[in-house]
Amino acid sequence: MSTVAQGGVAVTAIAFLHTALMRIIPYAIIAVPLLVLDLIWGVRAARHRNEQVRFSRAFRRTMAKTFDYVAWLIISASVGLAFEARWLEWLILGLVMGNEFISIIGNYLETKGIEFSWVSFYRWVFRAGAEKIGTTMESAEAEGIIKPKRERDEKGRFIKKS
């Protein structure tokens, strides 16, 4: 009797995981370019900061992110399938992939010498709805979203502006 029960549980678990893995294929296709772009712009940003970039370390970090993505993909699909809530799956992956996208944008802007304030950006986005009730964003706050980075001297210290 226990062999039959174990076989039934195994078949159910395999069917559940198969369904979950089939659901993550489109997200995996989206994750691959994110990982490649993160590697490219991460290396460029590190070189821009005059850091030594070793292939082995960059490869190791990319592989770690790949395994993290696979884990998040499986978790999100499993949770979405278990609770029959596709929106929960999208929410989890939106947070994970959105965070990676923000990292890519930050690295890209750093190589261009631009400091991007995400805090100011989010304030601006969420205050856009406040215009409907009569509150608007001040121009001083809007100017703080994108600003050039401070310059550094030969030793990498920030130069004080007078």
Q: Indicate whether 95 and 130 sit together in one domain.
A: no
Number of domains in the chain: 2
Q: Is the pLDDT of residue 58 over 80?
A: yes
Q: Indicate whether 14 and 42 sit together in one domain.
A: yes
Q: Indicate whether 119 and 93 sit together in one domain.
A: no
Q: Indicate whether 30 and 13 sit together in one domain.
A: yes
Q: What is the DSSP letter of 151?
A: P
| Whole-number Å distance between alpha carbons of 30 and 154 | 41
The residue among 160 and 67 whose pLDDT is bigger is 67
Q: In terms of Cα–Cα distance, which of 128, 102, 129 is closest to 117?
A: 102
Q: Indicate whether 93 and 133 sit together in one domain.
A: no
| Whole-number Å distance between alpha carbons of 93 and 87 | 10
Position 112 scores a pLDDT of: 84
Q: Which residue has the tokens 């592989």?
A: 63
Cα–Cα separations (whole angstroms), residue 50 to 10, 45, 105: 53, 9, 19
| Whole-number Å distance between alpha carbons of 39 and 31 | 12
| Whole-number Å distance between alpha carbons of 142 and 162 | 23
Q: Indicate whether 78 and 139 sit together in one domain.
A: no
Q: Which residue has the tokens 């805090």?
A: 119
**3 state DSSP class of 25:** helix
Position 150 scores a pLDDT of: 60
pTM (2 d.p.)? 0.67
Q: Is the pLDDT of residue 134 over 60?
A: no
Structural domain range at position 129? 114-162
Q: Indicate whether 83 and 123 sit together in one domain.
A: no
Q: Indicate whether 121 and 131 sit together in one domain.
A: yes
Q: Indicate whether 105 and 40 sit together in one domain.
A: yes
Q: Indicate whether 105 and 42 sit together in one domain.
A: yes
Q: Indicate whether 122 and 94 sit together in one domain.
A: no
Q: Indicate whether 93 and 143 sit together in one domain.
A: no
- Name the domain boundary from 97, 112, 127: 112
Position 157 scores a pLDDT of: 60
Q: Which residue has the tokens 């990319």?
A: 62
